[in-house]
Chain A
């Protein structure tokens, strides 16, 4: 986190999602360049998750170390979205104490929302791919390397793998646990903790921040459906990528938020599954792939039966 550009960005209080990275962050990694080196940025958007940051940053750094051992460059980018819980000063302290060279931090002066922060990471990364890690979750280093290798092998725009749900120290479920099918138009089973081809994501406008489309609660689902609609390839990698921590006070447990979320859900379905029948469409919209094995969604003819 000792990178000078990062500190400069912090001091400028960069924040407006509408501002141009080229004009505001001249020295910041990735800004002003269209062609990015093959590699990975693990982007950690943070909003009032100070208590979880050590866990997510530690796991991200371990993953980047594994990436480097495997011969791939990488970095960690933490973007604080104007937290009120002291995350900013905490991140500054970490910088002062440890002076990590593999972590950059950006403190936004104004809250822009999760979608805007993710878009910021897509703009600022100096590498070809971005893995989004919510500040309260953690990644498994070998899973990240496997996911990245799958992305390179397949050229997919979006790669994801199994996440174990953990609640109060117990494993209670799993998500992002199967290949992409049009069942996605009915329900979202792919979490945002996934690896994204940065250029392709930006080419379709990134995550939606348009207030008219009201995607505040399902922006990750909308993003996946948008990629599918634009015929970008999604790939499921059957490995364990990390832990998803189920917290009692998530945004969607609030009744008012739940009401808004239901409205957003209707909006999404109006855009991507107007008839309500696409979930039965047999069209293949993605693949299953493991870099040690190859594609795994073929080979159904057996035994002459």
Chain B
């Protein structure tokens, strides 16, 4: 990352419409960059045309989920053609259509930045699009919160499943009910974007729910190997134990704490070990790999 005069500059663009999850991702990048003493702006795609064009000229631009940014208009990202370096920022499994669709049309990018826990470079299928991996570590403040947590179990709710509904997930909820019991938080609304006014859970509401929940359980909505790093952070920051149920696609060597081959495997471990023990292992994983600031610094030095 270069600076024409004085401080380096970074523009983080997020979708104005679409899923609120990407606003959260953009905000975390913005907060991490701010700690690095980079002149950073966080701008919605819809407001990009109001941005000072001289500031955009030559800037490093991170566009979070270009497809959802384009929901505000096909040409809404055009001002970024004057930027010095453009990267699409994603948090998706590389084999899915949600990942592939990002590279169809649009303004063109010099790189894709994949935010997650597992480097997917070997499975990235676009040789002309350089791949960069950004480890989704906690922010410094989040590290402090995680370090000082003293969660106690049991909690009033044994498990939580939060996702949009599919038949597979409904069956999954029934498995959880049978294996872990009825004290649950089940939120499976019909598919639509997670945003204000849509009847979906806000990030703050999810946090409050997880603060009362022992196990935050999820399963991918596809069959490729992937670990949803934001689910992990949501859980740990609420003192809940993240539990990814995965049929075995994720390699054990990825070093990820507790992914389970089945709901029964989770139930068995829940019977054998205390919640405090399980949480401790997730806490260590969260704190032993530096902060998002460290990883962003490394990445920016390379672009």
Binding site for B on A (CB under 8 A): 140-143, 162, 164-165, 170-174, 177-179, 181, 183, 189, 238-240, 282, 288, 290, 292-294, 296-300, 302-305
Contacting A at CB under 8 A, from B5-49, are: 14, 20, 23-24, 26-28, 30-31, 42, 44
Taken together as a complex, chains A and B put the C-alpha atoms of A240 and B175 apart, in Å, by 12
Do A293 and B203 form a contact, CB below 8 Å, given A164-B174, A240-B173, A305-B42? no
Contacts of A302 in B (CB 8 A): 20, 23-24, 27, 202-204
Contacts of B212 in A (CB 8 A): 292-293
Contact B184 A299 (CB under 8 A): no
Question: Is B250 at the interface (CB under 8 A from chain A)?
Answer: no
Contact B27 A304 (CB under 8 A): yes
Contacts of A172 in B (CB 8 A): 167, 170
Question: Can you show 26 pairs from A to B with CB atoms below 8 A apart?
Answer: A143-B182, A162-B173, A164-B174, A170-B171, A171-B170, A171-B171, A172-B167, A172-B170, A173-B170, A174-B170, A177-B188, A178-B199, A183-B199, A239-B182, A239-B184, A240-B182, A240-B186, A282-B197, A293-B212, A296-B209, A300-B204, A302-B27, A303-B24, A303-B31, A305-B26, A305-B30
Taken together as a complex, chains A and B put the C-alpha atoms of A305 and B12 apart, in Å, by 11
Q: How far is the CB of A166 from chain B (nearest CB, A)?
A: 9
Chain B CB within 10 A, most for which of A140, A179, A238, A290 = A238
Question: Is B185 at the interface (CB under 8 A from chain A)?
Answer: yes
Partner of B174, one of A171, A183, A239: A171
Can you name 10 extra interface pairs (CB under 8 A) apart from A177-B190, A292-B156, A294-B208?
A140-B182, A142-B182, A172-B167, A174-B165, A177-B189, A282-B197, A290-B209, A300-B20, A305-B14, A305-B23
Partner of B177, one of A178, A183, A240, A292: A240
Q: How far is the CB of A298 from chain B (nearest CB, A)?
A: 7
Contacting A at CB under 8 A, from B166-225, are: 167, 170-171, 173-174, 177, 182-190, 196-197, 199, 201-205, 208-209, 212
Chain B CB within 10 A, most for which of A141, A296, A298 = A296
Binding site for A on B (CB under 8 A): 14, 20, 23-24, 26-28, 30-31, 42, 44, 156-157, 165, 167, 170-171, 173-174, 177, 182-190, 196-197, 199, 201-205, 208-209, 212
Contacts of B208 in A (CB 8 A): 293-294, 296, 299
Taken together as a complex, chains A and B put the C-alpha atoms of A68 and B189 apart, in Å, by 32
Contacts of B196 in A (CB 8 A): 300
Contact A292 B157 (CB under 8 A): yes
Taken together as a complex, chains A and B put the C-alpha atoms of A238 and B186 apart, in Å, by 5
Residue of A nearest to B183 (CB): A142
Contact B202 A300 (CB under 8 A): yes
Taken together as a complex, chains A and B put the C-alpha atoms of A238 and B189 apart, in Å, by 10
Contacts of A238 in B (CB 8 A): 185-187, 209
Taken together as a complex, chains A and B put the C-alpha atoms of A173 and B168 apart, in Å, by 9
Contacts of A171 in B (CB 8 A): 170-171, 174
Contacts of A189 in B (CB 8 A): 190
Contact B170 A181 (CB under 8 A): no
Contacts of B205 in A (CB 8 A): 288, 296-299
Taken together as a complex, chains A and B put the C-alpha atoms of A31 and B153 apart, in Å, by 46
Contacts of A143 in B (CB 8 A): 182
Q: How far is the CB of A53 from chain B (nearest CB, A)?
A: 23
Q: How far is the CB of B281 from chain A (nearest CB, A)?
A: 26
Taken together as a complex, chains A and B put the C-alpha atoms of A304 and B173 apart, in Å, by 34
Q: How far is the CB of B13 from chain A (nearest CB, A)?
A: 11
Taken together as a complex, chains A and B put the C-alpha atoms of A48 and B208 apart, in Å, by 45
Partner of A164, one of B156, B170, B185: B170
Taken together as a complex, chains A and B put the C-alpha atoms of A56 and B204 apart, in Å, by 38
Partner of B28, one of A288, A300, A303: A303
Contact B203 A299 (CB under 8 A): yes
Q: How far is the CB of B251 from chain A (nearest CB, A)?
A: 31
Do A239 and B185 form a contact, CB below 8 Å, given A294-B208, A296-B208? yes
Q: How far is the CB of B141 from chain A (nearest CB, A)?
A: 12
Taken together as a complex, chains A and B put the C-alpha atoms of A189 and B199 apart, in Å, by 13
Taken together as a complex, chains A and B put the C-alpha atoms of A143 and B44 apart, in Å, by 41
Q: How far is the CB of B170 from chain A (nearest CB, A)?
A: 5
Contacts of B156 in A (CB 8 A): 292
Taken together as a complex, chains A and B put the C-alpha atoms of A294 and B211 apart, in Å, by 12
Residue of B nearest to A282 (CB): B197
Taken together as a complex, chains A and B put the C-alpha atoms of A3 and B123 apart, in Å, by 70
Contacts of B189 in A (CB 8 A): 177-179
Contacts of A296 in B (CB 8 A): 201, 205, 208-209
Contact A303 B201 (CB under 8 A): no
Contacts of B157 in A (CB 8 A): 292
Taken together as a complex, chains A and B put the C-alpha atoms of A300 and B23 apart, in Å, by 11
Contacts of A282 in B (CB 8 A): 197
Contact A164 B28 (CB under 8 A): no
Contacts of B171 in A (CB 8 A): 170-171
Taken together as a complex, chains A and B put the C-alpha atoms of A292 and B208 apart, in Å, by 10
Contacts of A239 in B (CB 8 A): 182, 184-186
Q: How far is the CB of B174 from chain A (nearest CB, A)?
A: 4
Taken together as a complex, chains A and B put the C-alpha atoms of A100 and B188 apart, in Å, by 37
Residue of B nearest to A165 (CB): B170
Contacts of A293 in B (CB 8 A): 185, 208-209, 212
Residue of A nearest to B174 (CB): A171
Contact A181 B199 (CB under 8 A): yes
Do A303 and B23 form a contact, CB below 8 Å, given A164-B170, A290-B209, A296-B205? yes
Contacts of B188 in A (CB 8 A): 162, 174, 177-178
